[in-house]
Structure 1
């Protein structure tokens, strides 16, 4: 009999199925199965073995005729055969015959018009708890069939020679079968990002811009989006006591406004304190997940400064645990977009206003920089470019997302700003990090309309409009060249970064329209 590759087919062979387990039941199961230990506050503390972060080289999209021409095939969107998917599906199905599975239906997409129903199937109770916290929990039992199935079984490992993978770990998205298979690794973030990738495939084809960003809304109803790679301050700057949180990581922008894709948050915990990150610290409550966080074996208190397992320690909790979060997580069209970059060269202005074309250019660039000490072998600032500030999660051609962004900016008259949270007065090692109070003041001014009536000066190399004044910020800080003692050194560093931008956009050769290409940094002839 031919396999129909459905959740019903998969579950038909399982030895034991626990449906719709509650948070307390999943905590009990996780402890009973020695998957983790409870903290003093009732969070489940787990470790994930050798994978303490995503494994992008082990992520694949099944290449089928119906989706082949839709996908932007690349190092991040790697193809695999239907045979590879089928073999691993059968391995997981065989494993299910002798093991317990946890099953529930959840939702992603807070906008009812664009929600997606996911059937979640897990072998680990703590993984199931993670999904209960991260996805949207339906208020009533869902009676309609799930539209996509997520199966995660870390105990099932691939054989690279037989199965056509790169290692024993695999994350495979099959858009034709509407199924995601994850095995050989226990890092929970793979599940979250796999479903985000699914939404990034579905939503743009329905005219909705899917975005890797955080979002908040002011008391006046004006919402804002914050894009930025790790280390740029996205979580810190979007957590504003005077604004309500819509979400911290994944959003859609439809004709109705913006909406959170998720129902929870997956926040970094390294070195957090009640003073530095009060919202995250206080959100770690009963039933939340602490991933790769060391806890004292006697007091069961988490030690957020202990990085023995990884620097990438995480917690997963429902958005309701944030006191100023809004639920349902939706708001009107954004009046402002903030692109965050941590420029370790120290040459980008602390804030600049972008035209629509510049916004599309910097969205496609997704620039920030790594600094010495962050990774082995990095001894000087290293430019990093990531399309849409989240390149690994976008399966469609990059310009499809950029064009949607441009259309939304035009349609809703949204202002876009590039904010540098990196270095000033010199590069990393010479200058200093931009003061947080100044960055907050600039963002507040942008969101509150206080930059609408100021005069602007165009930067020579980056073609960016820099405000001549900003409330709460010394005017000499606003132009980066003014903060450098050695003007020639500034010129050299600026030219170096311009060349890096130019080198990066070569990958869009023949695709990027001239009006976008010409909006980027360039050297004077």
Structure 2
């Protein structure tokens, strides 16, 4: 078998003129620049522009409706079915197209830092910068293991190939299709690199529950005493920022598993949102994004490559992808013990949730299944002036191939078994809703989190919030007392009450979507309007 044959083994692609297999960052940089795929920042990061797609194409993602997986898949808006016949046709077209290209780039990588639960992934793509993204994002095997590498899953990445909706049964010329039976992912018609990352997260969400491992869309870090913590949260809530704490070692910034032995990172890199990134507030992410080896998506720079991280002319979803070792204080091996603390983050743009609240186990499952945050005008296209509530079950609905209650039950069991304390943290607005109030102080948030993590916060006196049933601390050293109770930060208390009741009604409406799948304790913990 030739080296080209070995690099394409298991992909079904017949090799083109030249295969670039498992190149280092240096080699991928050289090819990406030669091919005109992007340019360098002043600090040496690789800058790529993804064109039409600057985020995930949620409506163009499909799961193949293979008979052996049909009954276990959570079909609906998240997992749209594609027939096995149409996938065979589509994947065949993608393989043929890839085989016709003059050169291809492959990377052999691991997903899962725990050897007992990892999978082997082979990416084949037309662009060097996408190969560099994957190399940054996943776990790089030792060189000695590459010679015998056999993929468990293959990603056929064809960003310039356009699918035919009439022929394939997809919606547009963009199509992301995943077959669990064939262990193959096809990505076509989009250059947004996050599709590579999230397709493998979806795979891990599929395979791990059968192994008794909870897959989670969360970041994780660990203190000097070995006390691990998890941070759940949707985009913009501070998951990456708050887990990158100089006083604690980072396990990972986005995707983890929780097994009987502890937690482990799925990835070997970070994928941080960098719009309006502050060097003062987020020095670790700033430094990681201003160096050779980082991949910047849709970030604007001047003619000399000096970055303007406030410039959103291409998208609000500007991104930086870098190896996790670019963060100074990380956990070698990407594994830690059982978590002592679980944090659920929300950026409440309505300005009515407290900065921190202690949750019971039943409340923890309720808020996990709710997955609430609120987006505001300017963060996404199509949003108006008023905050828009977003509920993404398990803080990661787009990546859940199984029914949400599968993951909800596993979280409740893990919390009960391992004795973790759960906190709800609001990184959103205070003193009023978006447009009137101001963003929660990151210094206050970090101080409250540190008190939660070291156990001191659990010992203070708490008071129950009348609208959401949350237990709020009455006083915390170093934090103004009025900050802890959101109603006290509003000049117009009646306006606060109206806004709080409005958010309660949104929680009530969302609860109806999963109320039938939870126990009486969770139903009792649900947020509801006062009788």
TM-score (norm 2): 0.94
Asked if residue 130 in structure 1 is aligned to residue 133 in structure 2, the reply is: yes
Cα distance, 1:311 vs. partner?
A: 1.9
2:108 alignment counterpart: 105
Distance 2:475 2:305 in 1: 50
SS of 1:452's equivalent? helix
2:419 alignment counterpart: 413
Asked if residue 311 in structure 1 is aligned to residue 316 in structure 2, the reply is: yes
Question: Which consecutive residues of structure 1, in runs of 5 or more, have no partner in the other structure?
Answer: 1-5
1:62 alignment counterpart: 64
Can you list the C-alpha shifts for 1:461-512, whole angstroms capped at 9, x where unaligned?
Answer: 2111111221221222222222333333222222211111010011124222
Decide which of 51, 54, 78 is 1:52's aligned counterpart.
54
Asked if residue 272 in structure 1 is aligned to residue 274 in structure 2, the reply is: no
**Contact 1:30–1:126 (Cα < 8 Å) also in 2:** yes
Distance 1:382 1:20 in 2: 43
2:4 alignment counterpart: none
Cα distance, 1:363 vs. partner?
A: 0.3
**Closer, same or farther: CA 357–277 of 1 in aligned 2, 3 Å:** same
1:3 alignment counterpart: none
Distance 2:515 2:243 in 1: 34
CA root-mean-square deviation: 1.6
Distance 2:41 2:459 in 1: 52
Cα distance, 1:300 vs. partner?
A: 2.8
Asked if residue 119 in structure 1 is aligned to residue 122 in structure 2, the reply is: yes
2:23 alignment counterpart: 21
Cα distance, 1:273 vs. partner?
A: 4.2
Can you list the C-alpha shifts for 1:420-460, whole angstroms capped at 9, x where unaligned?
Answer: 12222322233332222221111111001112321222222
Decide which of 506, 514, 519 is 1:513's aligned counterpart.
519
Decide which of 407, 410, 416 is 1:404's aligned counterpart.
410
1:152 alignment counterpart: 157
Cα distance, 1:7 vs. partner?
A: 4.8
Can you list the C-alpha shifts for 1:173-226, whole angstroms capped at 9, x where unaligned?
Answer: 100000100011111000000001100111112111111111111111111111
Distance 2:236 2:106 in 1: 35
1:213 alignment counterpart: 218
Asked if residue 249 in structure 1 is aligned to residue 254 in structure 2, the reply is: yes
Paired positions, count:
519
Cα distance, 1:13 vs. partner?
A: 4.5
**Contact 1:15–1:96 (Cα < 8 Å) also in 2:** no
SS of 1:114's equivalent? coil
**Contact 1:106–1:138 (Cα < 8 Å) also in 2:** yes
Cα distance, 1:360 vs. partner?
A: 0.3
1:88 alignment counterpart: 90
SS of 1:232's equivalent? coil
Cα distance, 1:27 vs. partner?
A: 1.2
Can you list the C-alpha shifts for 1:233-284, whole angstroms capped at 9, x where unaligned?
Answer: 2222222111111111111111111111000011122232432321112113
Q: How does 1:174-189 map to 2 (within 5 A)?
A: 174-189=179-194
Can you list the C-alpha shifts for 1:59-86, whole angstroms capped at 9, x where unaligned?
Answer: 0000011101111112111111112211
Asked if residue 233 in structure 1 is aligned to residue 250 in structure 2, the reply is: no
2:12 alignment counterpart: 10
Distance 2:466 2:278 in 1: 41
Distance 2:313 2:249 in 1: 34
Decide which of 437, 440, 447 is 1:434's aligned counterpart.
440
**Closer, same or farther: CA 48–474 of 1 in aligned 2, 3 Å:** same
1:166 alignment counterpart: 171
Deviates more, 1:307-316 or 1:48-57: 307-316
Deviates more, 1:246-255 or 1:136-145: 136-145
Distance 2:150 2:9 in 1: 10
1:141 alignment counterpart: 145
**Closer, same or farther: CA 490–294 of 1 in aligned 2, 3 Å:** closer
Deviates more, 1:58-67 or 1:515-524: 515-524
Distance 1:110 1:145 in 2: 17
**Contact 1:455–1:467 (Cα < 8 Å) also in 2:** yes
Can you list the C-alpha shifts for 1:337-395, whole angstroms capped at 9, x where unaligned?
Answer: 11111112222121111111100000000111122343434121221101111110111
Cα distance, 1:314 vs. partner?
A: 1.3
Decide which of 353, 356, 365 is 2:361's aligned counterpart.
356
**Closer, same or farther: CA 50–436 of 1 in aligned 2, 3 Å:** same
Distance 1:300 1:426 in 2: 39
1:370 alignment counterpart: 375
SS of 1:290's equivalent? strand
Deviates more, 1:18-27 or 1:399-408: 18-27
Distance 1:489 1:271 in 2: 30
**Contact 1:209–1:252 (Cα < 8 Å) also in 2:** yes
Deviates more, 1:336-345 or 1:36-45: 36-45
**Closer, same or farther: CA 276–350 of 1 in aligned 2, 3 Å:** closer
2:457 alignment counterpart: 451
Q: How does 1:460-475 map to 2 (within 5 A)?
A: 460-475=466-481
Deviates more, 1:354-363 or 1:10-19: 10-19
Distance 1:452 1:213 in 2: 22
Question: Which consecutive residues of structure 2, in runs of 5 or more, have no partner in the other structure?
Answer: 1-7
Distance 1:466 1:503 in 2: 24
Cα distance, 1:306 vs. partner?
A: 2.7
